[in-house]
């Protein structure tokens, strides 16, 4: 099997993302650069806990022609390829429906990033407009949003995409984005609770506590 080590690495990343709660069911996918012209990508609609290295697809980056793996590649291959083609220094791209950052993508606006997160994520979280999953329309909208200094993107009413120079950096961006999203949503909920009528205020604080992993008092 060609590229066995990198294909196994994709399997390991998917299991880690599932354990961390960022991949659920068959949702979420990864592209990893394996050499100058090829990428490894998760197969479409597979249970990540039963996936084997041989299930991971190897594609030519230039035209996404499949060169290894019998399974169909992820429907979001074009989405990831747009990032890896536009940014040759990026080695890994991760798309998830992770719960808190995906909630941020429902707000319908790009989000400024506080300065302490700029190095990891970039100065803002762009909001890529909605288009159906796996569509060329979504891939082309995303391609237009890619910037050299931005490693985390919100996808309206859908999820997020993070990238990095290698898989460890992309994983860190996924983690950092979820932490930042939790903080930003908590601030918004807290601000809304102040001055709200008692019933709404209690409901908002319950939501605030749940978001921060605290059980209701």
Measured from the CB atom, is 18 or 133 closer to Zn ion? Answer: 133
The residues of the shown chain that bind Zn ion, judged by CB under 5 A, are: 133, 159
CB of 168 to Zn ion, least distance (A): 22
CB of 216 to Zn ion, least distance (A): 31
Residue with smallest beta-carbon separation from Zn ion: 159
Measured from the CB atom, is 133 or 135 closer to Zn ion? Answer: 133
Beta bridge partners of 30: 94
Q: Which residue has the tokens 């919100």?
A: 154
- Residue 22 burial (CB count, 10 A): 27
Residue 136 near residue 164, CB atoms below 8 Å: no
Q: Checking DSSP bridges between strand 92-96 and strand 38-41, what pairing results, if any? A: unpaired
Beta bridge partners of 154: 127, 160
Measured from the CB atom, is 140 or 196 closer to Zn ion? Answer: 140
Alpha-carbon distance 139 to 144, whole Å? 9
CB of 75 to Zn ion, least distance (A): 9
Measured from the CB atom, is 32 or 79 closer to Zn ion? Answer: 79
Measured from the CB atom, is 29 or 167 closer to Zn ion? Answer: 29
For residue 64, what is the enclosing H or E element?
Answer: none
Q: Which residues contact 108 (CB under 8 A, 6 or more apart)?
A: 127, 156
CB of 162 to Zn ion, least distance (A): 13
| The two structure tokens encoding residue 47 | 């249970």
CB of 95 to Zn ion, least distance (A): 6
């Amino acid at each position: 099997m060609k590229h066995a080590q990198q294909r196994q690495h994709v399997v390991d990343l998917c299991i880690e993302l599932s354990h961390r709660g960022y991949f659920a069911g068959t949702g979420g996918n990864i592209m990893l650069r394996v050499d100058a012209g090829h990428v490894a990508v998760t197969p479409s609609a597979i249970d990540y806990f039963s996936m084997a290295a041989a299930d991971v697809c190897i594609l030519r980056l230039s035209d996404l022609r499949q060169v290894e793996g019998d399974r169909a590649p992820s429907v979001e291959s074009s989405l990831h390829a747009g990032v890896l083609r536009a940014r040759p220094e990026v080695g890994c791209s991760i798309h998830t429906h992770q719960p808190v950052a995906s909630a941020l993508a429902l707000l319908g606006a790009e989000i400024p990033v506080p300065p302490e997160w700029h190095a990891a994520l970039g100065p803002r979280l762009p909001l890529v407009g909605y288009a159906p999953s796996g569509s060329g329309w979504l891939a082309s909208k995303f391609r237009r949003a890619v910037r050299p200094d931005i490693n985390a993107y919100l996808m309206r009413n859908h999820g997020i995409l993070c990238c990095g120079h290698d898989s460890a950096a992309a994983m860190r961006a996924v983690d950092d984005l979820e932490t930042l999203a939790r903080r930003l949503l908590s601030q918004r909920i807290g601000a809304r609770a102040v001055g709200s009528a008692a019933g709404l205020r209690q409901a908002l604080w319950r939501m605030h506590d749940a978001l921060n992993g605290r059980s209701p008092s």
